[in-house]
Structure 1
Amino acid sequence: MAITIAVASGKGGTGKTTTCANLAVALSQFGKDVTVIDADIAMANLELIMGIEGKPITLNDVLSGNADIKSAIYEGPAGVKVVPAGVSLDSFKKARPERLLEVLSKLDEQSEVLLIDCPAGIGKEALTAISAAEHLLVVVNPEISSISDALKVVSIANRVETNVLGAIINRVTEDSSELSSRSIETILEIPIVGIVPEDTNVRRSSAFGVPIVLKHSDSPAAQSIMELGAKLVGKQYIPKEKTKDSFVKKFFKGIFGGKKK
């Protein structure tokens, strides 16, 4: 049985999918057998970031009943197994989102760690993905609208008894107008487990379909995500370049020893 982690956000544009994709690669580099699924079937783009676009069978085909989930699993960067949702409008129209829970339960047997790239917001598909996971990571930007929407996601996770590991603050510039990590932690009432700085290499990596932790491994964003991956597996990782407030200093225990009750 896999450790299942939903990666969610209260609104679009936080960098959730990019963070999820790179975290999957980071965990793989720490020796974990990782599968990542794009559960955002309406706005799918995980396959673009992982460089595996155009695959013949996708999650939408599985949800429509035209394929088995095993045929929609592809090898991605660093050996990560990827289940793309597909960008075809026709496939999306035929998909039955209510079958997602069944698909996720089958994927639970495929690897050691299952990351779920959830749809943004608190719609039915997002609720299904969050409730199916043991743990939740919430990706936010350091602005009040993002934090306000994230509060709703955290509330939903608590209702369905999904353990909230904490928040990842993404695209941090340290501008004076941004909310501080302490303020975000206070508002959300969950720990900050990762702080990822704004990094132009993220866009460059995405353009090539290669996760930043592989293409620009020395960059600040890549180092922050690698450090987060280390925390999740209970290891210590020393970033090659440390910048002020670029990471959370206090490590928490690895989650791979326990399951949601």
Structure 2
Amino acid sequence: MQDTPKLTKYWDEKSGRMSLILKNGERPLRGIVVEDQYPAAISGILCFAKSGGVAPVATASGGKILWKVANLAPGELKELVYTSLIRDALEGYAPKKPTPADAALLSSTASLPPKLTGDVETPAKAEERPALKPPEEPAKKAAPARHAVVVAVGAGKGGTGKTTFSINLGVALAELGNDTILMDADASMSNLSTYLGMDPNGMKATLHEVLAGEAEPEKATYRIFNDHLRVVPSGLSIEGFLKMDRSLLRDVIEYFSQEADYIVIDTPAGYNRELALSLAASDHLILVLNPDEGSMTDGLKVQEMARILDVNVMGIVLNRYDMKNPYFSRSQVEAHFGTPVIAMLPDEPEVRRKDKVPSVLAAPSGLMAAEIYHVAQKISGQKPPACSPSFVSRLMLALFNTASL
């Protein structure tokens, strides 16, 4: 029986990367630190986790790399990878491989064995410690982990109002008292934080850093408008986008799902790999369309991708719908997609993102808010609240408006 984790190391000549394979033993580990060395003359070390779980946090400086790996299950594998890239490579102007000189330096350290340091505590060892409470007092059982319902909001083309709807849906679910996470998975063209008026310079971390293994997921969450709502924005820098490992998105969503009731994902527009990764981690898809030919043609492709990935297509939201002179009727849209229209949002420019405040808060008694709450009710089974926002939302809204002056 292998009780302790095992570390192996190899140099990938073709890709110019060093890989550390960490295999856990037969007992779960709460936390462990993997340490490795690299030539200090190299700058621009890039670390990431290639597979399994939420990305470990890595730091590299002065010739030493430290990986903090949490919550290893029995027999679980982690592949920790690092390489050296010059800034031009990160910005897309050079091949994403180390220079021949850096590659030679890195490969020279392949024979130096990595080591395990830090806390290697197992739950079994923790139980051997003296109890903090009197023996006669029974220990409280931990609350069972939740598993969030994950709703992807998609569109076949940009400009349909997908992000605006995602924000309003997240706020509506939070107003109903649900712990909700609103995530910007449009990592290449992210704008959710901009729509919310968040200062990118004031964000300590974003989804980019989480997917690059440079930040823990909690560091990239921000409460806004409601104490039940947390936002996970994507970054705005090209460098951050190029460093992230998109394949870890599902693991990050799974991590957040343990502590939330609902996750609303603002997915990338179009028909691409990033959308597929978002859908693969989702339970439901809501399509946001404009009632025009281009939006409907491209939206049909997104719906087909969802069905291929066995994701439930909950319904269609028709945005900017002209109630008096529609280009397509509701019944025509439903017949074309074979999917019900669950909301019809009128064009109300006076309340759309008014002062960067979502419509469900800026105009809670309006038709748009009513339609959005109808979707939230369909997801959660909960009836909409009274027209006015909750007390906490009003308080946070007042602080938000004050800070915007």
Per the shorter chain, which TM-score range? 0.7 to 0.9
Q: Take 2:279 and 2:350, find their aligned partners in 1: how far apart are those partners?
A: 30
1:54-203 aligned at under 5 Å gives the runs: 54=200, 55-79=203-227, 80-174=229-323, 176=325, 178-203=327-352
Amino acid at match of 2:157: K
Match of 1:52 among 158, 175, 198: 198
Structure 1 residue 37 corresponds to structure 2 residue 183: yes
The 3 A distance-change label for structure 1 pair 40 and 204 is closer
Q: Percent identity?
A: 34
Unaligned runs of 5+ in 1: 241-261
What secondary structure, in the 3-state scheme, does the structure 2 residue paired with 1:200 have?
A: coil
Question: TM-score by structure 2 length?
Answer: 0.56
Of the two structures, which has the highest relative contact order with CA contacts closer than 8 Å and spacing of 6 or more?
1
1:200-255 deviations in Å (ceiling 9; x for gaps): 134452xx222111122233322321222223222445997xxxxxxxxxxxxxxx
Q: Distance in 2 between matches of 1:63 and 1:237?
A: 35
Bigger drift between 193-202 and 224-233 goes to 224-233
The structure that is strand-richer by fraction is 2
Higher alpha-carbon Rg: 2
Q: Counterpart of 1:58 in structure 2: which amino acid?
A: T
What is the letter of the counterpart of residue 224 of structure 1?
Answer: E
Equivalent position of 2:167 in the other structure: 21
CA RMSD after TM alignment: 1.8
Check 1:69–1:141 CA distance in 2 against 1; reply closer, same or farther (3 A cut): same
Deviates more, 1:72-81 or 1:178-187: 72-81
Whichever structure has more helix as a proportion of its residues is 1
Query: What's the CA shift string for 1:179-199, capped at 9, x where partnerless?
Result: 111100100111111111111
- For structure 2, list consecutive stretches of 5 or more residues without a partner in the other structure: 1-146, 388-405
For 2:55, the equivalent position in structure 1 comes to none
Aligned residues: 238
Q: Pick which of 174-183 and 27-36 moved more.
A: 174-183
When residues 237 and 2 of structure 1 are mapped into structure 2, their CA distance, relative to the original with a 3 A threshold, is closer
The 8 Å contact of residues 224 and 239 in structure 1, kept in 2 or not, is answered as no
The letter of the residue matching 2:191 is N
TM normalised by structure 1 equals: 0.86
* Distance of 1:237 and 1:100 partners within structure 2: 31
1:233 matches 2:390: no
